[in-house]
């Protein structure tokens, strides 16, 4: 089955097990951020995490499953933050809600830009996985749902465009070596506001 390589062998249930898994994922994230995929292998991760290779294999059968777990955890955190931002901006209107959600996504990316870029490249090489695909589509679906609630025409295209504005500007900023997330958020905010203005109206 194509999903098997991304499925952990078992879920941690005790505090000690959770700490082991957290250490493994943190070590893998550090390696990816510093060395990229070429430096990532299970032995390297186990050494950096301070666990035996046997302990690592109890939970993750291979490096692909570690990468999948990392992507899943980061995306779950992003979705939770986007939901909170949308709720906080609800009273301010549609444009503020969308801008708040986009800003959260940019800040999330910029906390660890090297890791974000490495995981994006790594995900493209992973076997097809339904859970990761559903998680990824939920990011856009959240914005689509907000737009649809305000009766915006073709909310799918608008959501895709808004995310593309943020993603494109974020990629350019990372390539240019920028590290000021708030400066980027301000620029993207202006771009998104300009795009939304004729859609949202007065």
Which pLDDT tens digit goes with each residue over 36-88? 888 899 999 999 999 999 999 999 999 999 999 999 999 999 999 999 999 99
Q: How far is CA 22 from CA 11, 17, 59, 69, 200, in A?
A: 12, 9, 11, 10, 43
Structural domain boundaries, residue 11: 4-63
Confidence of residue 161 (pLDDT cuts 50, 70, 90): very high
The domain that contains 145 carries what CATH number?
Answer: 1.10.357.10
The domain that contains 41 carries what CATH number?
Answer: 1.10.10.60
- Per-residue pLDDT tens over the stretch 14-28: 788 889 999 999 999
The residue out of 40, 63, 86 marking a domain boundary is: 63
| pTM of this structure | 0.83
Domain contains 202:
no
What is the b/e burial string over 173-183, where b = at least 16 CB atoms within 10 angstroms of the residue's CB?
bbeeeeeebee
Residues 75, 170 share a domain: yes
- Per-residue pLDDT tens over the stretch 85-115: 999 998 888 989 999 999 999 998 888 888 9
Residues 167, 80 share a domain: yes
Confidence of residue 9 (pLDDT cuts 50, 70, 90): low
Tell me how many domains the chain contains: 2
Alpha helices, DSSP H, located in the chain: 15-35, 42-49, 53-59, 63-88, 94-111, 113-124, 130-149, 155-175, 181-200
């Amino acid at each position: 089955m194509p999903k098997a390589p991304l499925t952990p062998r078992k879920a941690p249930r005790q505090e000690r097990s959770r700490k082991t898994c957290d250490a493994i994922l943190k070590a893998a994230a550090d390696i990816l951020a510093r060395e990229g995929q070429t430096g990532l292998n299970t032995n390297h991760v186990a050494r950096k995490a301070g666990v035996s290779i046997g302990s690592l294999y109890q939970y993750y059968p291979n490096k692909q499953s570690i990468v999948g777990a990392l992507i899943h955890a980061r995306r779950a955190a992003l979705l939770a933050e986007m939901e909170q931002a949308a709720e906080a901006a609800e009273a301010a209107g549609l444009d503020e809600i969308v801008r708040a959600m986009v800003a959260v996504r940019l800040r999330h990316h910029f906390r660890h830009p090297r890791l974000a870029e490495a995981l994006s490249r790594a995900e493209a090489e992973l076997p097809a996985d339904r859970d990761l695909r559903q998680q990824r589509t939920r990011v856009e679906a959240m914005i689509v749902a907000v737009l649809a609630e305000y009766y915006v025409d073709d909310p799918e295209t608008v959501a895709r465009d808004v995310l593309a504005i943020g993603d494109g500007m974020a990629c350019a900023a990372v390539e240019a070596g920028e590290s000021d997330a708030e400066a980027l958020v301000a620029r993207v905010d202006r771009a998104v506001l300009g795009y939304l203005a004729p859609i949202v109206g007065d």
